[in-house]
Amino acid sequence: MKNVLQQLRFAQWLAIAALALGSAQAVADDDDDDHGGGAPNTVEVLASTNGAEALVGAVVYVEQSGVLDFSLVDFLSDRRNRFILFAPTNPAFENLLGLDAGSLDGLSSADIANALGGFVPADAVAGILLKHVVPSNRLGWRASETALLRKGSATAADGSELEVGVGATGVTVNDSTIIKANVRTRNSVIHFIDTVL
């Protein structure tokens, strides 16, 4: 019964989020100064990216918990918020959680959000997520892999310094490697990484 109630609350939250995103999209479409044009926002890109279900699930889990004094979904979807996102893939989260490779395959972000509640405290997940966001005032929000390399570091939303360099398999951020770079959204640039920072 508890699981059914959680699923109903989650479905209600998704409906509200969809309405809010639709309203934000309508307002954004009316703005002639929007640099992202008609591109989808960060939340929309992540939600439609195969292999990002764990990241979306983590965002939903933090959102539902209310541990932050702001809405992470609103921040990530608001076109006025410009940032760089280092987005860990499903295998990165499997590694962090000590799961076998492929354990998250076939699970929805909702399934993952529900499962995280029994695994990791919400404030710990929130701290992890904030380490992956670099606000625009700390580095140009459209920073490509090349721009990151030139700078050599970036300051995350939680205040931690992220070292950017070149490793054996490509551009690195701390101990993580960027596996897909420069995914542009309406309000961010996403670099997918192979390890949770």
**Amino acid letter, 156:** A
Ranges of the chain whose pLDDT falls below 50: 1-35
Provide CB contacts within 8 A for 78, sequence distance 6+: 24, 41, 187
Give pLDDT tens digits for 7-35. Answer: 434 433 333 333 333 333 333 333 334 44
- CATH number of the domain bearing residue 81: 2.30.180.10
* Per-residue confidence (pLDDT) for residue 37, from 0 to 100: 60
Burial class of residue 164 (count of CB atoms within 10 Å of its CB; 0-12, 13-18, 19+): buried
* Of 154, 115, 114, nearest in space to 134 by CA: 154
pTM of the model: 0.80
The number of distinct structural domains making up the chain is: 1
In a domain, 11, yes or no: no
Question: What length is written for the chain?
Answer: 197
Tell me whether residue 26 is in a domain: no
Q: Is residue 63 part of a domain?
A: yes
Q: Taking a C-beta distance cutoff of 8 angstroms, is the pair 126, 89 a contact?
A: no
The residue segments making up the domain with residue 124 are: 37-193
| Sequence-ordered alpha helix ranges (H) in the chain | 2-29, 42-47, 53-65, 72-77, 90-97, 109-116, 122-130, 145-151
Report yes or no on 187 lying in a domain: yes
Residue 159's nearest CA partner among 129, 183, 134 is 134
Query: What is the 3 state secondary structure string of 46-101?
Result: HHCCCCCHHHHHHHHHHHHHCCCCCCHHHHHHCCCCCEEEEEECHHHHHHHHCCCC
Residue 23 located in a structural domain? no
Distances (CA, A) of 167 to 7, 85, 178: 42, 20, 10
Domain-embedded: residue 104: yes
Q: Is residue 12 situated within a structural domain?
A: no
pLDDT of residue 127: 98
* 17 part of a folded domain: no
